[in-house]
Amino acid sequence: MPGGRTICQGKETSLSLIDLYMKLYFLVLTLLVPLLFPLKTKAQTIGKNPDPTVMVSPILEDFHTLENWETLLFPKIPRHSTYEIVDLPEGKALELRSDHSASAKVYRKSFDPYLLPRLSWRWKIYDFPHRKDPQRKEGDDYPVRIYVLFTYDPANPGSAGRFKYELAKLLYGIYPPHSSLNFVWANHRAPRDRYPNPYTDRAIMIVRDRGQEAVGQWREHEIDIIEEYRKSFGEDPPRKATLAVMADTDNTATRSLAWIDYIHVEPSSKDLLKD
């Protein structure tokens, strides 16, 4: 899937470039807060976010329920991955199952990545379902993905390209998302730790675990969203973002099973030390 399929698959290769881009992203944006508040100045990346729709308190998602998440289905993909809260020996977790399928869960609220730059999570997989090249569309399947989706800001379009977004708004009445970081458990055919999604270069795949070595083991990760965005796109990110999770096996016609124990979005470690 999403990111390039990227939250929203865009399977029709015959579509024009703009239609493909919108195919990938339009549904995601409809799940985000519908109003986009432009930044007034670059100085707003420091201090309190003036947008009342953006969370400035930490997100501590421990998956006791899914009430904060909304299902995202992809057009013309009839089989949907499933997401369920389960009881494991270690406690409750989100179970992600995919069987020749794709769908996602998108967090209902937005947050400010400048105030909450620290993203941490714990996940594990049962098996890795395929050996295809993940840099190609036919290999763009992962047993677990965690996305950070950034909202387009018309006042600061960056390298996203103002014309493309204005055209999309003219056609669809709303801006598509600006870009995304996609943290994945990849197979060993992923030659690098960071590469563009095969559907769009506005979604960067970032490998945090590979292959079979750690199958069945909990793996913990912590990243700085701002640093990862700058490494991926060479510029500062928009000030409004949300989360998504996904398991997909529709391209490879395989099955997968994975779990996420928690996802936390918090102030940086340095900020915590200051407090």
pTM of the model: 0.77
What is the predicted pLDDT for the residue at 191? 80
Low-confidence stretches of the chain (pLDDT < 50) are 1-3, 8-47, 272-275
Cβ neighbours, 10 Å, residue 33? 17
Q: What is the pLDDT of residues 3-27, one digit of tens each?
A: 455 564 333 333 344 444 444 444 3
What is the predicted pLDDT for the residue at 17? 40
What is the predicted pLDDT for the residue at 168? 63
What is the predicted pLDDT for the residue at 275? 41
What is the predicted pLDDT for the residue at 53? 75
Q: Which of 251, 156, 159, 148 is nearest to 206 (CA)?
A: 148
Domains of the chain (ranges; CATH) run 2-36+55-274 (2.60.120.430)
What is the predicted pLDDT for the residue at 129? 81
